[in-house]
């Protein structure tokens, strides 16, 4: 079923554009799959690591649920369900948000800190092996510029 209105024409991709798009998608999936496999050795999923690592960058290892969800591109309810699973493993805990009576804070626990300290070297090695070390410095710089250009708000 077409979602185009009558008279609208889809701007089909050229062969070069389609090749670039598909290559980009395969690259993202390949790197993600490989780094996720390496994190699994520590009992962590990619979202687990993202929550732990971003919380570790915040003062006191603490962030609001709202800020964390925005940073991950998730809804608050999705992150709340994931946080519940992480709480059950004592990786994080929730605390009331003094600035917002309806909100909560996500706080990295000692177990969370320890888990992150153990997993970080594996993750860094994985990122190097499956991404950074496969590119020349100028390719890495170009990819960084491209990523910033695409992720900038329009």
pLDDT of the residue at 128: 97
Instruction: Look over the chain and give the mean of its residue pLDDT values, rounded to a whole number.
Output: 92
Distance of CA 3 to the CA centre of its chain: 31
> If we measure between CA atoms, which residue out of 6, 114, 119, 110 comes closest to residue 60?
110
pLDDT band at 56 (very low <50, low <70, confident <90, very high): very high
Sheet holding 100-108, edge to edge: 62-64, 100-108, 92-97
* pLDDT at 2 exceeding the cut of 60: no
pTM for this entry: 0.84
Task: Quickly tell me which residue has 């994080």 as its tokens.
Answer: 92
pLDDT of the residue at 1: 41
* pLDDT at 42 exceeding the cut of 70: yes
Q: What is the mean predicted confidence (pLDDT) over 38-53?
A: 95
Question: What is the maximum span of the chain, computed from C-alpha positions, in angstroms?
Answer: 60
């Amino acid at each position: 079923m077409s979602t185009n209105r009558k008279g609208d024409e889809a701007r089909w991709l050229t062969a070069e554009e389609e090749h670039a798009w598909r290559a980009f998608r395969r690259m993202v999936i390949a790197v993600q799959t490989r780094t996720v496999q390496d994190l699994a050795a520590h009992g962590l999923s990619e979202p687990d690591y993202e929550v732990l690592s971003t919380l570790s960058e915040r003062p006191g290892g603490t962030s609001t649920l709202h800020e964390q969800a925005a940073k991950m591109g998730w809804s608050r309810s999705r992150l709340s369900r994931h946080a519940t699973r992480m709480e059950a493993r004592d990786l994080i805990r929730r605390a009331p948000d003094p600035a917002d009576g309806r909100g909560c804070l996500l706080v990295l626990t000692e177990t969370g800190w320890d888990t992150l300290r153990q997993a970080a070297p594996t993750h860094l090695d994985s990122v190097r092996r499956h991404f950074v070390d496969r590119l020349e410095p100028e390719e890495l710089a170009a990819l960084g510029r491209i990523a910033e250009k695409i992720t900038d708000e329009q």
